Amino acid sequence: MAVETLAIEVAYALPSKQRIVALCVPEGTTARQAVALADLPALFPELPDTAFSQAPLGIFGKALRDPDTYLLCAGDRVEVYRPLAIDPKVARLERAKRQANDPGR
């Protein structure tokens, strides 16, 4: 019996550099395993390996609750998310404060 393979992609982006790695993985591969197979540390040597091995993951913009158990489907694009530089709630609050203090508004 032949093992079925799935064509998938693994994506990671920095502000100045983006990569999408196309892979054929065996059926039953998890999202986390696909990230390991994509060998992103070789493409982004400036980052520590933990940037990929422990990062939150998603499929086409939808965050995965448990990427270690999510089984991929053909055509999935696994996205590796970077940590947020600032909490979105804090950013909105700061923006609102600046706008409130702007005399030109």
The DSSP line for 42-102 is HH-TTS-THHHHSS-EEETTEE-S-TTTPBP-TT-EEEEPPPPSS-HHHHHHHHHHHHHH-
Residue 54 burial (10 A CB sphere; 0-12, 13-18, 19+): exposed
- The pTM score is 0.78
Which sequence spans correspond to the domains of the chain? 5-101
Provide the sign of the torsion angle of the four alpha carbons 53, 57, 60, 61, taken in this order.
Answer: negative
Model confidence pLDDT, tens digit, residues 78-93: 999 987 777 778 888 8
- Domain 5-101 = CATH 3.20.20.70: no
pLDDT above 90 for 104: no
Model confidence pLDDT, tens digit, residues 38-78: 999 999 999 887 889 889 999 999 999 999 999 999 999 99
pLDDT above 60 for 105: no
pLDDT above 70 for 29: yes
